[in-house]
Amino acid sequence: MTGLYNGDFLLTWQHDVETLRAVLDTAEALEDLARGGVSCKVFETGLGLSIFRDHSTRTRYAFRSGCNLLGLMTEELDESTSQIAHGETVRETATMVGFLTEVVGIRDDIFLGEGDRYQREVAAALAESHREGVLMQRPAVINLQSDLDHPTQSLADLAHLVSVFGGLEKLKGKKLAMSWAYSPSYGKPLSVPQGIITLMTRFGMEVVLAHPPGYGLVEETVEKARRFAGESGGSFTVADSMAEAFEGADVVYPKSWAPALVMLERTRLLRAGEKDKLKDLEREALATNAKFKDWECNEAMMRATKNGAAHYVHCLPADVTDVSCAAGEVSQAVFEKARLDTYREASHKPFIIAALILLTRFADPTEVVNRLAKEARPRRVS
Amino acid sequence: MTGLYNGDFLLTWQHDVETLRAVLDTAEALEDLARGGVSCKVFETGLGLSIFRDHSTRTRYAFRSGCNLLGLMTEELDESTSQIAHGETVRETATMVGFLTEVVGIRDDIFLGEGDRYQREVAAALAESHREGVLMQRPAVINLQSDLDHPTQSLADLAHLVSVFGGLEKLKGKKLAMSWAYSPSYGKPLSVPQGIITLMTRFGMEVVLAHPPGYGLVEETVEKARRFAGESGGSFTVADSMAEAFEGADVVYPKSWAPALVMLERTRLLRAGEKDKLKDLEREALATNAKFKDWECNEAMMRATKNGAAHYVHCLPADVTDVSCAAGEVSQAVFEKARLDTYREASHKPFIIAALILLTRFADPTEVVNRLAKEARPRRVS
Amino acid sequence: MTGLYNGDFLLTWQHDVETLRAVLDTAEALEDLARGGVSCKVFETGLGLSIFRDHSTRTRYAFRSGCNLLGLMTEELDESTSQIAHGETVRETATMVGFLTEVVGIRDDIFLGEGDRYQREVAAALAESHREGVLMQRPAVINLQSDLDHPTQSLADLAHLVSVFGGLEKLKGKKLAMSWAYSPSYGKPLSVPQGIITLMTRFGMEVVLAHPPGYGLVEETVEKARRFAGESGGSFTVADSMAEAFEGADVVYPKSWAPALVMLERTRLLRAGEKDKLKDLEREALATNAKFKDWECNEAMMRATKNGAAHYVHCLPADVTDVSCAAGEVSQAVFEKARLDTYREASHKPFIIAALILLTRFADPTEVVNRLAKEARPRRVS
């Protein structure tokens, strides 16, 4: 029993380690069943609703796939064709789309200080309407990326590391470098690095966060990473260069993000509708970025890692030098070598999402999985 | 047997009272099954297609939920990405999207004199193609709001009143005030008030319609309300003020709409592409609206109702003063008190839609519902 | 065994006649089952993904219907809301949306020299990811119209002719006129005429291609038509006028398309972003088109056909004179007479697509169809 039943999954640090293990175990069990051609359908009918307030391909399809695997029909709330623009409140809309909905997946990662708040608002509205008997069930809210965390990504990354190293216990003492990397873009969310440092420190990993001056993360998440490292017997340190962070690393996660202060200022300017100042901010931010073009994960940089052969991981899409841009997060040689592994990393996400649905919607998810395995209905006629 | 089998549901006044009762009973039975965790899936495969020519959140999700409850996969005909713009006729398109479709839900409420005509055109095309053997089944057309009626809304409202007063028979003699209310917007359809006065008069209610001078409804619907009131032993009157209409009312439905003449002129100007005149029309209409800001459902107004405690109902979203606008249809205090009840009111719509699908697609819907209850397959693994 | 298992279906000429026969037979069997109310559901869960890089109504719904008939949930990759714009490669995206996907349908017909290449790129990416164990199954890529071929259209047309003439064998010696026809538009793809001449020549038909000077098709497809006609005992000739092509024809397919050279130049200018030159090109192309307004399929033209009563076929939507334009591909009288037959022609497409899914996804599709027939589960509760 994980405490997830009839609840939400917004931030990994709101849940204990046992719960996170249960997510991994359930995801693995579902993936095994699916690969074995066994149906994982647990819903006859029901909706899986997604709300994407930012672009998405892989998380959108992971959500749709995860829902479909369990038998839910997916729908996407398109805020441009709905009446939300007509002055509707979040509270009301959440209920209106929740009558036969089992799960609501939300991506809201653009505005720092907003995304998580919005997700909690939706969850509170659904909880109220369920408590008052308006909704016959309490749809779970699943965070598909907020300003604070990107749990379906970090848990998929964790599942990948478990697979790479042969077990969750094997992660103890392994060094992971979560490093800022250069990208010719601006405004990338902080949720991935924040999600990684707060999750990987819970399993005894030696996590090093590296970034140029001024590119710090939201302080709350750094504090949590420090505390979790202490509790799990791992470590958490901050380094000033990618090279330092990579030293002896088993895993490297080089990725661009925007400084938290830039993101906060951007939120303020967007709200105020100050277009000229937004352009100034973008220009300045790109100029600052450009000072750190040497934060590229290339073969020279990789040589410093454990046996020169650290596992490169990334949430995708990566900004690959000479492929998607002139200078980016990773060189073509390093990326191409790891490419199929990054696909494997991503392949866990539909099952992580399906696991979160099972754990939030069923009182005894283990029993449900066991029954699926026992009945072994084929996923398609054979 | 209701006469709905293999037909459409466009306007409530095209159907007799027994048919409307059957819709309510079927919706209630489906809701009971769903709340009891029993599967209502009656289709193995099949499409539920929607065409929204105006914004929608709640009706769109009610349609999707109702289809999903019965096992239909939903699709939405997006006129911006389809080839309809390439000169395709309605007749042809209706058939092209109808090959494996069980139901077509249409919202077309913007142009007075157009929406209902379009829905009948689609229905006639489907009927022809079925008659000629092109379509293997005759998809039902369900009106999700036209210029004349909004039957899934008014029937959901009726189901709510039945629940509030404890039975359809209990509505006899109850006074309902369908009153215009101020909103800082222009061009809201007439279909809700028209739907309400033509439906509630059929069950013996004392219906009062109130609006400022010039805000009359389409005459045909007012005549029908008058006739239905006579037949059912209720009454239908027109009042000049919200206050007069609210006097002793059991139920109040304060809602903004545009004058029919403004809507007709708007249709003409939109067709002629006269942008400047459209702006003039909007300016004039808003100025006229602004003369009636005192048509607000507030606590003072509510005191005149039966025991000062009439049931406030609304199709949502309401324009709430100090919440979604500076001055609107209803004060914050009145709305907040009734808020969860308006959610309950809305909660019937998915089941009304599912009931309409059952009644149009099955020769013996009662038998179908009884069988679902008897088999009692769980809606999800338990 | 057709060789389609775990493969793709991009161009009809990549497959032998036995395979094409199997597609027709499977489609017919599925249509018979569906018309008999028998469920054709073979997937418990799974996704059917579509990518439309051009407008579509009928093919989009045929794909959705075909997927739904077999039990797949459909999703559409919307390139405007996905992160593809962020520099993502085709290879990566294909895998990311493929984890639980059984079939990917693609329309990419605007750029001559591009569409087929893109489809092969997606297929290669899926094949690699499957080979490497990233994907647990190999999703089939189905061509929903490329620059070269439109196989689901031409096969539906073929199924229609089989039905009209009473068998595939009956097509031998029947004369089909694939003729260019005037339309007041520019840039229509070549894939339909190319698909028709390369497919119908394989079954012994006497195919005549007619077009004004300069409106030739991609040479490769003309060569294939010539070769296929030789192999099947039919014939393939090119005529200079619609009248000549119609002489004694059993079937006429009058349809507008753009000259291949114009399409190539358009592709070049679009890529170079040369807007002024694109306008010049369009003006010139329309002026050239206008010289051939007499290429209209009207009653005078039809009198030259076999007994004055050739079967008129069209992929729809047709440009009908005095209906969708002042002067078009076909006169109102001819079109109206054939209208319901063109609907029948189109009605085969969902089943052709479902057949292609069955043949690509199942090792023994005949056995699957036989089992569906034997089990005869109802498509809906009865």
Chain B residues contacting C via beta carbons under 8 Å: 42-47, 71, 73, 75, 77, 81-89, 92-93, 95-97, 99-101, 129, 132-136, 361-362, 368, 371
Q: How confident is the model at residue C85 (pLDDT cuts 50, 70, 90)?
A: very low
Chain C residues contacting A via beta carbons under 8 Å: 42-47, 71, 73, 75, 77, 81-89, 92-93, 95-97, 99-101, 129, 132-136, 361-362, 368, 371
CB-based contact C89:C118 (threshold 8 Å): no
- What are the percentages of helix, strand and coil residues in chain A, rounded to 5? 50, 15, 35
* C-alpha to C-alpha distance for A316 and A137, rounded to whole angstroms: 35
Q: How confident is the model at residue A87 (pLDDT cuts 50, 70, 90)?
A: very low
B neighbour chains, 3+ CB pairs within 8 Å: A, C
Q: What would the DSSP string read from start to end of C194-263?
A: HHHHHHHGGGT-EEEEE--TT----HHHHHHHHHHHHHHT-EEEEESSHHHHHTT-SEEEEE----HHHH
E-strand stretches of B215-341: 235-239, 251-255, 311-312
Question: Worst-scoring range by mean pLDDT, B15-29, B141-155, C48-62, C222-236?
Answer: C48-62
pLDDT for A54 equals: 83
Is the predicted pLDDT of residue A84 greater than 80, yes or no? no
pLDDT for A83 equals: 54
pLDDT for B336 equals: 96
CATH match for B12-149+347-375 among 3.40.50.1370, 3.30.360.10, 3.90.79.10, 2.130.10.10: 3.40.50.1370
**The pairing of beta strand B311-312 with beta strand C47-52:** unpaired
Contact residues on chain A for C83, CB-CB shorter than 8 A: 55-58, 317
B88/C55 CB distance under 8 A: no
Q: Token pair 């249409």 is at which residue?
A: B106
**Alpha-carbon torsion, ordered C3, C8, C13, C16, to 10 deg:** 10
Helix (H) or strand (E) holding A228: helix A219-232
Q: What is the pTM of this model?
A: 0.96
SS3 A140: strand
Comparing alpha-carbon positions, the chain A residue that sits nearest to C125 is A340
List Cβ neighbours of A149 (8 Å cut-off, separation of 6 or more).
A10, A11, A12, A13, A116, A143, A191, A194, A195, A198, A221
A neighbour chains, 3+ CB pairs within 8 Å: B, C
pLDDT for A86 equals: 39
Assess whether the region C12-149+348-375 and the region C154-346 belong to the same CATH fold.
Answer: yes
- Nearest beta carbon to residue A316 from set C81, C92, C135: C92
Comparing alpha-carbon positions, the chain A residue that sits nearest to B33 is A136
Residues in chain B predicted with pLDDT less than 70, given as ranges, are 1, 80-88
List Cβ neighbours of B316 (8 Å cut-off, separation of 6 or more).
A88, A92, A96, B58, B342, B346
* C-alpha to C-alpha distance for B49 and B142, rounded to whole angstroms: 10
CB-based contact B58:B144 (threshold 8 Å): no
Please compute the mean of the pLDDT values over residues A216-222 and round it to a whole number: 96
C324/B134 CB distance under 8 A: no
Please compute the mean of the pLDDT values over residues A92-121 and round it to a whole number: 93
A100/B325 CB distance under 8 A: no
A368/B378 CB distance under 8 A: no
pLDDT for A81 equals: 60
Percent of chain A, pLDDT > 70?
A: 97
Q: Residue C142: what are its φ and ψ, rounded to 5°?
A: -115, 125
Task: Calculate how close chain B gets to A97, using CA atoms only, in Å.
Answer: 6
C55/B81 CB distance under 8 A: yes
pLDDT for C126 equals: 97
CATH class of A12-149+349-375: alpha beta
pLDDT for C144 equals: 98
A324/C89 CB distance under 8 A: yes
Is the predicted pLDDT of residue C28 greater than 60, yes or no? yes
Q: Quote the Cα angle for A4-A9-A13, to 5°.
A: 95
Domain ranges, ordered by start, for chain A: 12-149+349-375, 153-346
Q: How confident is the model at residue C273 (pLDDT cuts 50, 70, 90)?
A: confident
CATH topology of domain C154-346: Rossmann fold (3.40.50)
CATH topology of domain A153-346: Rossmann fold (3.40.50)
C44/A380 CB distance under 8 A: yes
Considering chain A, what is the average pLDDT of its residues? 94
SS3 C296: coil
List pLDDT tens digits, range A261-276: 888 898 888 888 899 9
- Nearest beta carbon to residue B56 from set A73, A83, A135: A83
pLDDT for B132 equals: 97
Q: How confident is the model at residue C270 (pLDDT cuts 50, 70, 90)?
A: confident
CB-based contact A96:B61 (threshold 8 Å): yes
**Alpha-carbon torsion, ordered C188, C194, C195, C196, to 10 deg:** 100
Task: Calculate how close chain C gets to A81, using CA atoms only, in Å.
Answer: 14
Q: Residue B169: what are its φ and ψ, rounded to 5°?
A: -65, -30
pLDDT for C6 equals: 95
pLDDT for B382 equals: 72
pLDDT for B187 equals: 83
Q: How confident is the model at residue C122 (pLDDT cuts 50, 70, 90)?
A: very high
List pLDDT tens digits, range B48-79: 999 998 888 899 999 999 999 999 999 998 77
* C-alpha to C-alpha distance for B9 and B139, rounded to whole angstroms: 11
**Distance from the Cα of residue A247 to its chain's centroid:** 26
Task: Calculate how close chain B gets to A316, using CA atoms only, in Å.
Answer: 29
Task: Calculate how close chain A gets to B248, using CA atoms only, in Å.
Answer: 28
Smallest Cα–Cα separation from C380: which of A309, B137, B116, A305? B137
Q: Which residues of B252-262 are buried (b: 16+ CB within 10 A; e: fewer)?
A: bbbbbbbbbeb
* C-alpha to C-alpha distance for C331 and C62, rounded to whole angstroms: 27
Task: Calculate how close chain A gets to B237, using CA atoms only, in Å.
Answer: 32
Is the predicted pLDDT of residue C334 greater than 70, yes or no? yes
What the block records as the tokens of A291 is: 């000072």
Task: Calculate how close chain B gets to A217, using CA atoms only, in Å.
Answer: 35
pLDDT for B270 equals: 84
Is the predicted pLDDT of residue A248 greater than 60, yes or no? yes
pLDDT for B43 equals: 98
C neighbour chains, 3+ CB pairs within 8 Å: A, B
* C-alpha to C-alpha distance for A148 and A171, rounded to whole angstroms: 24
Please compute the mean of the pLDDT values over residues A169-188 and round it to a whole number: 95
B100/C57 CB distance under 8 A: no
Comparing alpha-carbon positions, the chain C residue that sits nearest to B137 is C35
A317/C86 CB distance under 8 A: yes
Q: Which long-range contacts (CB under 8 A, 24 or more apart) does C163-166 make?
A: C163/C344, C163/C348, C164/C311, C164/C341, C165/C250
* C-alpha to C-alpha distance for B365 and B355, rounded to whole angstroms: 9
CB-based contact B330:B242 (threshold 8 Å): no
* C-alpha to C-alpha distance for A128 and A91, rounded to whole angstroms: 9
- Nearest beta carbon to residue C95 from set A323, A343, A377: A343
C100/A65 CB distance under 8 A: yes
* C-alpha to C-alpha distance for A131 and A129, rounded to whole angstroms: 5
A75/B56 CB distance under 8 A: no
Contact residues on chain A for C362, CB-CB shorter than 8 A: 381
pLDDT for B37 equals: 97
What's chain A's length in residues?
A: 382
Is the predicted pLDDT of residue C323 greater than 70, yes or no? yes
CB-based contact B173:B204 (threshold 8 Å): yes
Chain A residues contacting B via beta carbons under 8 Å: 42-47, 71, 73, 75, 77, 81-89, 92-93, 95-97, 99-101, 128-129, 132-136, 361-362, 368, 371
Contact residues on chain B for A77, CB-CB shorter than 8 A: 57
CATH topology of domain C12-149+348-375: Rossmann fold (3.40.50)
- Nearest beta carbon to residue C57 from set B42, B45, B84: B84
Q: What would the DSSP string read from start to end of A36-47?
A: TTB----BSS-E
Q: Which residues of B369-380 are buried (b: 16+ CB within 10 A; e: fewer)?
A: beebeeeeeebb
B88/C62 CB distance under 8 A: no
